[in-house]
Amino acid sequence: MSGNSQELIYKFLREKVVLKQEVFERTRTIFFQLKEILQTMYAEMQKEIKKIDKDILLEFKDRGDYEMEFTLADDTLIFLMHTNVFTFDKEHEVWKSSYVQEDPNRAYCGKIYIYNFLSDSFKYNRTNDIGLLIGRMFVNKDGHFFVEGKRQLGFLYNDFSSAVLDNENLRKVVESAILYSLDFDPYIPPYEQMTQISVQEVMESSIQSKIATGKRLGFRFQSDANPLGMP
């Protein structure tokens, strides 16, 4: 290997790899903060929910270093941290901000996904059921963030240049996700999609677990508010 190639490799290690490790550690720290916030909200909500109806389901599950689950009534939110660090294609809105233009390293981000499932999908082990991505949170090395997502998740948290993920903002994101999920009702899927079931599916296990269910199963799920181009 030539000296120039070696130097180039070390340059990438010093610049890109160290940067990505820094972003990863920042994102992981924030994910741990997010767990603490969800645990706190779970404790706070227990008494109040019992006053409304003692049968309303409320659960928090820590599913490891990079995943957790929060269930309220008919909805389960899965929070998932991706272990890789990403940047954006050059057409993305992020590159148009003076904040990123001043320091392109600010465009390297960790990701935290927020998925919405029906609680019964887990209760009845309906493994064919569909969850929906309602938001994804991007975090850079400085702890600045923005969220791409649905409704308030898509337009309240898009000030990447100044918004920092402290406990207050993390809690606001969680509350927005919960409110969106509670207000987002399941639709009956098109009849044509539900007309067939195989003998094998009936014989292997409960039919209930074989019938796919989701809030918008069979419908094109478009963003209600998508200013930053979430696919």
Neighbours of 168 (CB within 10 A): 9
Q: Is the pTM of this model over 0.95?
A: no
Beta bridge partners of 137: 112, 147
pLDDT averages per 10-residue partition of the chain, 231 residues:
74 83 97 97 93 93 96 96 94 93 96 94 85 93 92 82 94 94 74 59 56 52 41 33
Q: What is the pLDDT of residue 58?
A: 97
Q: What is the pLDDT of residue 15?
A: 78
Q: What is the pLDDT of residue 154?
A: 73
Q: Residues in the chain, how many?
A: 231
Q: What is the pLDDT of residue 202?
A: 59
Residue type, 119: S
Rounded Cα distance between 111 and 136, Å, is 7
Q: What is the pLDDT of residue 184?
A: 77
* Terminal Cα-to-Cα distance of the chain (whole angstroms): 42
Beta bridge partners of 146: 138
